[in-house]
Amino acid sequence: MYCISDLAEEFGITTRTIRYYEELGLLKPSRTEGGRRIYSSSDLARLKLVLRGKRFGFSLEEIKEMVLLFDEDRTGEKQLKVTIQYGEEKLAEVNERIAELVEIKEEIERLMTEFKGRLEG
């Protein structure tokens, strides 16, 4: 169990950010009798997921969709199918982003070798 400033330090973000994520429904820590937030290790894992999502450009709303998706009741078959459908869409998105990044990478590499050639030549 961690308090909010523990989490903040651990992940290198501010407490304001953590409260904001909660405001958006991304986190749901329990509370002490006095009203202070306490975070379990599953809250911690959740936050880790959120931050990773952010790092490669998803909006907090998109991230919310994703984390809530894997959080709802998924006992029914229909629900499960919808989840799989959605997951595959996200997977396609991710694959597209990877492909684009690889293109950029190659473009930069081409430029770099050209410049290096100029230096030596």
Record the tokens describing residue 19, joined without a space. 């409260």
User: How many C-beta atoms surround the C-beta of residue 76 within 10 A?
Assistant: 9
Residue 78 phi, psi dihedral angles, 5° rounding: -60, -50
Cβ closer to a second copy: 1 or 92?
A: 92
Smallest distance, DNA to C-beta of residue 17, A: 4
Does 115 contact a second copy by CB under 8 A?
yes
If we measure between CA atoms, which residue out of 21, 50, 13 comes closest to residue 37? 21
Does 56 contact a second copy by CB under 8 A?
yes
Residue 28 phi, psi dihedral angles, 5° rounding: -140, 70
Q: Give the CA count within 13 Å in the CB-facing half-sphere of 24.
A: 18
* Residue from 31, 57, 73, 121 binding a second copy (CB under 8 A): 57
Smallest distance, DNA to C-beta of residue 14, A: 4
Name the site residues for a second copy (rule: CB under 8 A): 52-53, 55-57, 70, 74, 77, 80-81, 83-84, 87-88, 90-91, 94-95, 97-98, 100-105, 108-109, 111-112, 115-116, 118-119
